[in-house]
Chain A
Amino acid sequence: MTVKNSNLKFVSKGITAILWLFFAANLIFLILNFKNIPSWEYERIIKINGFTILIWTVVSFFSALIRSYSFNYLEGFKYQTKFSLISIGFTLSILLFVMSNHIALLIATWFFMGFFMSRLIGVDSKWGEAQEASKFAFKYFLVGTFFLSLGLLILAFQLDIFTLNNIIDKVDDLPKHITLISALSIIIAAIIQSAIYPFHRWLLSAMTSPTPASALMHAGFVNGSGILLALFSTVLFASNTLIILFIIGGLTAVIAQFTKLLQVNVKQKLACSTIAQMGFMIMQCGLGFFNAAVVHLILHGFYKAYLFLSSGEQIELIKPQKNPNITIKPMQALVVVLFGLMGAFLFNYLTGKGTDLNSGVFLTLIVAITVGQVTYNIVKEQSLSVFQKAFLPPALFLVGIATYAFMYNAVTVLMSDMPMVAEPLSLSAIQIVFGAVFLVGFFVMKLGIYRKYPWLYVKLLNISQPSKKTVLMYKSK
């Protein structure tokens, strides 16, 4: 028994080391060959390019990290080995997914990603609610795979081509209704994976998985849609369906962010945050910035994995608090606007986004408001000195924007051989209307207006409840 255990541990440590090495190798390869990464194909089944290596780097990072974390965290867990095997299966599925060129492989790996993820949700096979949650999620993933298959097979059979790179080159030759059906199917598959409304409930019911599995889910699974949409950007352009992504993503981002405000459980709160962030990522796709979406999915992965892995830190005694005061003096407002503009300018300069009057303006606007919010919170804080108030905001947004721009530019280069992944759209009326909705949401939240509507509270509370069968369903005796 103990010999077997120590052997298992040895093997487990070995796999972790291999994953870390694989991560390091990918990263070094990226750095050394940056700008001219060779593309490599095998028999029309496999295709490896800069984007593949990029996602490999990210995925191997999270997998290795989760393994290192779980080594202690899951010590003594009855299903530790099972957990480990499923995680490996999951990791391999994504690694294969991003190197697939044949659509059969693409569909199969997409299916296996969902399959393994649902197994992680129900890894504790003796726990009734976990089994329900696992089944519940698996149903969603099956539907997702169905729609992905539909979307891709329509294209493939219509063109009689079964390789990804050839299909996306020839999309323009297809009749409009074919690309439309295909695009809608791909979109449905994508938003199921990302738990976008109205497909969000599986994610809110997935807390039966051990914490590291949640970290993996939120850093490496839900954002699979960003990869998928980037791969099929030409289909979306050809079918003119970007606006759907923009609206669904944007609405989800706003609603989920409000829903997050009333969550009382840490993990559900993080899940709502993920849904909002995925909404934002989908919205970026809808604006034509698939490269920005990929950057977002990577950075959000770091952020959310961190918050899940540290989710035990939220126990704390605090005092009941009154809502914060939100008045602002004219002088402070001026500084806020000034810094906001500076931030926007810096962002444009460093990323080249939104310099012309196109859909990039939205992204610039968000940066400007964020910088404004940073500044606003700092300048009205009494414990800070004038010096700190003057220098802290620019220091923060300089660092924040610079690191982001670095990532953005790097990813853009790595994705440069993919068609139509950084194509700003010209501004449409719908976009402007929706931009206004976004701003209204911002002010409703900022001014705390939402607090005046109890019915809204109840609606949001109810839509964010986990599936009923996954809570208090069973008793044991």
Chain B
Amino acid sequence: MINLNIKNSIKEASQVIGKTWPLYSFVTSNPLSGYEQMPFEIAIKHAGKHLNAKMFPETSLYRQAWEKGDIDKNQLLKLLEEYQLSESPEYYLNEMESFKTGLYKNKNHELDLIMAKWLSAFIDEGLAEWEMPNKNQGFYKAWRKLAAYDNDIPKLHINDIPKTSTEALDELLKNYSKADYTKIFIAHLAALPGWTGYINYRSNSNSEWQQAYPITLQDYLAVRLWVAQKIKAEIFPKNDNELTNTAITKLQLTFLKAWEKSWQNKLVNQLETKQIETSSLKNQTNISDAQLVFCIDTRSELIRRNIENKGNYETFGYAGFFGIAMDYENLNDGLIRKSCPPILNSSYHVTEVAQENKLNEVEANKQKNEVEKFKNYFLKRMKNMLPSAFGYVEGSGIFYGMSLIARTLKPAYFYRLNKKNAPDFESICEPQIEKIRSNNHNNLNIPLEEKVAIVKSAFDLLGWRNFAPLVLFVGHGSHSVNNPFGSSLDCGACAASPGRHNARMLAKLANMKAVKQALKEHHHIEIPKNTIFIGAEHNTTTDEIVIFDSEVSNTQKEALEKLKFDLLQAQQTATKERLGAEINSVALAQKKANNWGETRPEWGLAKNAGFIVGPRELTKNNNLEGRCFLHSYNWEMDESGKALEGIMQGPMVVTQWINNHYYFSTVDNQVFGSGTKITHNVTGKFGVVQGNGGDVKIGLPLQSLMSSDSEMYHQPLRLSVMIQAPLTRVTEILLRNEHLKNLLDNEWIYLMVMDPLDKNGVYNYGKNLNWKGAHKHKIMNTQKVNIKIDAAQFA
């Protein structure tokens, strides 16, 4: 019987490690999510110690920010004074720099090596043709059956090893007190945080691989501790009493805060100037030629700006899964992938069915996929088997030689030639929504009300009143080749899948006659007869927008042609701006998308620093440099605050995850990121290790964060959220949502509110709902003090 104390201790200890996501659906999550209940300052102290990680930007990054003026001098001086630090910034920069780090030997080298060997062999997801024997019995039992043959550990007989992981742990820990369990577990889990994080992921997601080949943290600990005891490695961690230099930490935090505050000030200035400019234009109600809804992703800002100035177009920001909590079954490979934020449970299952009169095409497509699948299997078989491996190399070598030349010298040409961006089966199929299959529903059809609710909630969250003749829902996806981190560039809100299918699905639902009817009758939302909703996808590498218009009638096609033309213009100007290339910027982008030697095909969400919730008027014509997530919101249409609450519970938390991931991957790229791409070694079809092996890597590579090994691209700043809404409304939402308030109180993110009821004055959130005016002349009014007192009473 499992000792309950052991079980609880494992659970407690596992908070120390995060989740390692597989690279085929890479979620940029906070590696310190287990610490979110603690204040940021405390959390990084603990995590830094357990994971042996740097928790603040390198001094060289501070210096770059300081020299470029990104850390505002006055702001820094002010903060230094606040913390009673009286020397000059230069002095402190030098002081931080003098605190050098270096290499030292890993004292658990043998043990870590043995564990990494067995973990990588067991967890493999299909890379090896010959998988570890007895894998289906679970990690502990499979290892136990092989351990006797392993000459990395002293000779033993299988019966020397306890039969189950429970027995093993009971036996190994019998001489330790319960209080020591957690300490032991933390040390051994944190020794290989990548692998243990992946075990964490596997057992939480219960993926097909986990079902077939189960592995748990308990298994891991049992094997590790048993081997440790056998090779006489340390079980109970000796107290290193490593001194964290608190003086340096204080400096680092001060510089970080000054940097963050400088950025916030800049943003507030930008938005406030804007307020003055546009206030006169308010209440215009002309209808645009097209409305385009983009993901809140930071990359949307640039393309939105470039589309808006091409014609009479309106753009919006909405979470890129378009409010449909779905799993998507891909027609080409038959695999089911999650296509909504990982913090949501999927309730729908979306498949593809043939469009009217397109059955034959779909059949042909299916045939093509089968042949493609066979081709891959065939090549693998030829390469793996004896002696065909030798014959194959001799027969095909010349063709590999030709491919080498083609792929190295002419990537952009082959990108266009293969029409990599053209619609695939989307032009012959349409998405079909059903209930999720795992819940034993008899009837998979979903009722009309649910479909209406999905559409209505999109309109609500967007704060929509009028409909243009063309409404495009534009998901986003990225194109890159030879890139293990390809999925990290896709849509984060769709669990690292391209967002096109969610967009197509929402368009289809919104186009349904019955849905339109219901919206009109029950919700007073009238969609004009000539309005059509169309799914599309923004290719974030090339800024091309592919439109899935195979079902658009001929009369509407004409209007669409004009839009398509303008989108091509937008692609030109957007790539020009983004890549800084005066000529042929589109070809350059295409080259990046298809060059197998390209380690920076695009920048993903790097540079993210802010999340702005409000109408587009707030930010329009402002170059935000792709640093902000933008969510549309109209406070006037959301009296109940429900829409805002939804945005804060969903998108705000997701953006915090993304932002924290970028922060930690930047400050310690080896521990929280994945180091440089140029020495990556793909393991098990789901992850990468560095060089010859070791721990599987957790987060983004250096090339997603830095312009060179030393030059910063992403600025590691905590997320600043800016909401345009009445202050009272935001306060109420925070009071209702303890975990959101915690994130703020613990300083994982910053919140600023632009209160339209108070002449758009900006207020900064302070611990325990202490709002402070961004400018000195604005002080909290008494009404807000009352709210604070109320809050205290609530608690």
**Chain A interface residues toward B at CB < 8 A:** 61, 65, 68-78, 124, 127-130, 133, 204-212, 253-254, 257-258, 260-269, 273, 276-277, 280, 295-296, 298-303, 305-306, 309-321, 366-367, 369-371, 373-374, 377-378, 381, 383-384, 396-397, 399-401, 403-404, 407, 438, 441-442, 445-446, 450-451, 454-455, 457-459, 461-462, 465-468, 470-477
B335 located at the interface, meaning its Cβ lies under 8 Å from any Cβ of chain A in the complex? yes
For the complex formed, measure the closest distance between the CB of B433 and the CB atoms of chain A, giving whole angstroms: 22
Given A209-B679, A276-B389, A315-B23 in contact, is the A400-B395 Cβ separation under 8 Å?
A: yes
User: Which residues on the B side are within 8 Å of A263 (C-beta)?
Assistant: 127-128
User: Which residues on the B side are within 8 Å of A266 (C-beta)?
Assistant: 127, 681-683
Bound-complex Cα distance A169 to B172 (A): 70
Bound-complex Cα distance A262 to B118 (A): 12
Contact between chains at A457 and B692 (CB < 8 Å): no
Closest to A396 in B: B395
Bound-complex Cα distance A296 to B703 (A): 36
Contact between chains at A76 and B127 (CB < 8 Å): no
State which residues 122-175 of B face A: CB under 8 Å: 124-134, 145-146, 149-152
Of B24, B103, B150, B384, which is within 8 A of A462 by CB? B150
B560 located at the interface, meaning its Cβ lies under 8 Å from any Cβ of chain A in the complex? no
Contact between chains at B113 and A472 (CB < 8 Å): yes
User: Which residues on the B side are within 8 Å of A298 (C-beta)?
Assistant: 397
20 further A-B pairs in the complex, CB-CB below 8 A; given A73-B598, A211-B678: A68-B409, A264-B124, A265-B693, A268-B693, A277-B390, A280-B390, A303-B393, A314-B682, A318-B335, A319-B335, A369-B387, A373-B381, A373-B385, A381-B374, A446-B385, A446-B386, A457-B132, A471-B693, A475-B103, A476-B670
Contact between chains at B103 and A133 (CB < 8 Å): no
Of A268, A317, A446, A457, which is within 8 A of B146 by CB? A457
Closest to B686 in A: A315
B597 located at the interface, meaning its Cβ lies under 8 Å from any Cβ of chain A in the complex? yes
Closest to B691 in A: A208
Contact between chains at A474 and B103 (CB < 8 Å): yes
Interface stretch, picked from B351-359, B482-490, B749-757, is B482-490
Contact between chains at B598 and A72 (CB < 8 Å): yes
Bound-complex Cα distance A63 to B483 (A): 23
For the complex formed, measure the closest distance between the CB of B368 and the CB atoms of chain A, giving whole angstroms: 9
A-B contact pairs, 23 of them (CB 8 A): A76-B707, A78-B710, A208-B691, A211-B680, A253-B387, A299-B393, A299-B397, A317-B25, A318-B335, A369-B387, A370-B395, A373-B382, A400-B391, A403-B395, A403-B397, A404-B397, A442-B386, A445-B385, A458-B146, A461-B121, A475-B52, A476-B670, A477-B52
For the complex formed, measure the closest distance between the CB of B482 and the CB atoms of chain A, giving whole angstroms: 4
Contact between chains at B682 and A277 (CB < 8 Å): no
User: Which residues on the B side are within 8 Å of A401 (C-beta)?
Assistant: 395
Closest to A20 in B: B409
Interface stretch, picked from B207-215, B259-267, B268-276, B781-789, is B207-215
User: Which residues on the B side are within 8 Å of A212 (C-beta)?
Assistant: 597
Bound-complex Cα distance A448 to B324 (A): 45
User: Which residues on the A side are within 8 Å of B597 (C-beta)?
Assistant: 68-73, 212, 309
Report B225-261 CB contacts with A as 1/0, cut-off 8 Å: 0000000000000000000000000000000000000
User: Which residues on the B side are within 8 Å of A277 (C-beta)?
Assistant: 389-390, 393
Closest to A373 in B: B388
Given A76-B709, A302-B398, A315-B686 in contact, is the A471-B116 Cβ separation under 8 Å?
A: yes
Given A302-B400, A457-B146, A458-B150 in contact, is the A384-B388 Cβ separation under 8 Å?
A: no
Bound-complex Cα distance A72 to B599 (A): 7
For the complex formed, measure the closest distance between the CB of B199 and the CB atoms of chain A, giving whole angstroms: 16
User: Which residues on the A side are within 8 Å of B408 (C-beta)?
Assistant: 65, 68-69, 309
Of B398, B481, B695, which is within 8 A of A299 by CB? B398
User: Which residues on the B side are within 8 Å of A446 (C-beta)?
Assistant: 385-386
Contact between chains at B692 and A205 (CB < 8 Å): yes
Contact between chains at B103 and A370 (CB < 8 Å): no
Contact between chains at A366 and B387 (CB < 8 Å): yes
Contact between chains at A459 and B149 (CB < 8 Å): yes
5 tightest Cβ-Cβ pairs between the two chains A and B: A299-B397, A400-B395, A370-B391, A76-B708, A383-B370
Contact between chains at B105 and A474 (CB < 8 Å): yes
Bound-complex Cα distance A70 to B678 (A): 10
Bound-complex Cα distance A205 to B670 (A): 20
For the complex formed, measure the closest distance between the CB of A414 and the CB atoms of chain B, giving whole angstroms: 16
Contact between chains at B682 and A315 (CB < 8 Å): yes
For the complex formed, measure the closest distance between the CB of B727 and the CB atoms of chain A, giving whole angstroms: 45
User: Which residues on the B side are within 8 Å of A366 (C-beta)?
Assistant: 387, 390-391
Contact between chains at B685 and A454 (CB < 8 Å): no
B371 located at the interface, meaning its Cβ lies under 8 Å from any Cβ of chain A in the complex? yes
Closest to A257 in B: B386
Report B508-539 CB contacts with A as 1/0, cut-off 8 Å: 00000000000000000000000000000000
Residue from the set A65, A446, A450 with the largest chain B CB neighbour count within 10 Å: A65
Closest to A210 in B: B678
Closest to A388 in B: B371
Contact between chains at B483 and A300 (CB < 8 Å): no
B689 located at the interface, meaning its Cβ lies under 8 Å from any Cβ of chain A in the complex? yes
Of A70, A319, A442, A462, which is within 8 A of B387 by CB? A442
Bound-complex Cα distance A273 to B389 (A): 9
Bound-complex Cα distance A100 to B713 (A): 49
Number of interface residues of B (CB under 8 A): 113
User: Which residues on the A side are within 8 Å of B382 (C-beta)?
Assistant: 370, 373-374, 377
**Chain B interface residues toward A at CB < 8 A:** 22-25, 52, 101-106, 109-110, 112-113, 116-117, 120-121, 124-134, 145-146, 149-152, 208-209, 212-213, 335, 337, 367, 370-371, 373-374, 377-378, 381-401, 403-405, 407-409, 481-484, 486-487, 595-600, 670, 676-686, 689, 691-695, 703, 706-711
Contact between chains at B692 and A254 (CB < 8 Å): no
Bound-complex Cα distance A318 to B135 (A): 17
For the complex formed, measure the closest distance between the CB of A473 and the CB atoms of chain B, giving whole angstroms: 6
Contact between chains at A72 and B595 (CB < 8 Å): yes
Residue from the set B208, B394, B481 with the largest chain A CB neighbour count within 10 Å: B394
User: Which residues on the A side are within 8 Å of B403 (C-beta)?
Assistant: 306
Closest to B111 in A: A472
User: Which residues on the A side are within 8 Å of B600 (C-beta)?
Assistant: 75
Bound-complex Cα distance A383 to B104 (A): 57
Bound-complex Cα distance A212 to B597 (A): 9
User: Which residues on the B side are within 8 Å of A317 (C-beta)?
Assistant: 22, 24-25, 125, 335, 337, 685-686
Contact between chains at A370 and B208 (CB < 8 Å): no
User: Which residues on the B side are within 8 Å of A462 (C-beta)?
Assistant: 150-152
Contact between chains at B394 and A296 (CB < 8 Å): yes
Bound-complex Cα distance A366 to B395 (A): 12
Contact between chains at A470 and B692 (CB < 8 Å): yes
Bound-complex Cα distance A78 to B711 (A): 10
Given A265-B120, A458-B150 in contact, is the A303-B106 Cβ separation under 8 Å?
A: no
Given A76-B707, A315-B685 in contact, is the A476-B483 Cβ separation under 8 Å?
A: no
For the complex formed, measure the closest distance between the CB of A204 and the CB atoms of chain B, giving whole angstroms: 7
For the complex formed, measure the closest distance between the CB of B381 and the CB atoms of chain A, giving whole angstroms: 6
Given A265-B693, A320-B212 in contact, is the A273-B133 Cβ separation under 8 Å?
A: no
For the complex formed, measure the closest distance between the CB of A320 and the CB atoms of chain B, giving whole angstroms: 4
For the complex formed, measure the closest distance between the CB of B689 and the CB atoms of chain A, giving whole angstroms: 7
Closest to A316 in B: B685
Given A313-B481, A458-B146, A476-B670 in contact, is the A397-B386 Cβ separation under 8 Å?
A: no
Given A454-B134, A458-B149, A475-B106 in contact, is the A320-B127 Cβ separation under 8 Å?
A: no
Contact between chains at A451 and B130 (CB < 8 Å): yes
User: Which residues on the B side are within 8 Å of A397 (C-beta)?
Assistant: 395
Contact between chains at A320 and B397 (CB < 8 Å): no
Bound-complex Cα distance A428 to B331 (A): 57
Contact between chains at B134 and A320 (CB < 8 Å): no
Bound-complex Cα distance A295 to B481 (A): 30
Bound-complex Cα distance A334 to B179 (A): 71
Given A316-B685, A369-B391, A441-B386 in contact, is the A77-B397 Cβ separation under 8 Å?
A: no
Bound-complex Cα distance A235 to B398 (A): 32
Contact between chains at A383 and B685 (CB < 8 Å): no
Of B106, B126, B377, B484, which is within 8 A of A473 by CB? B106
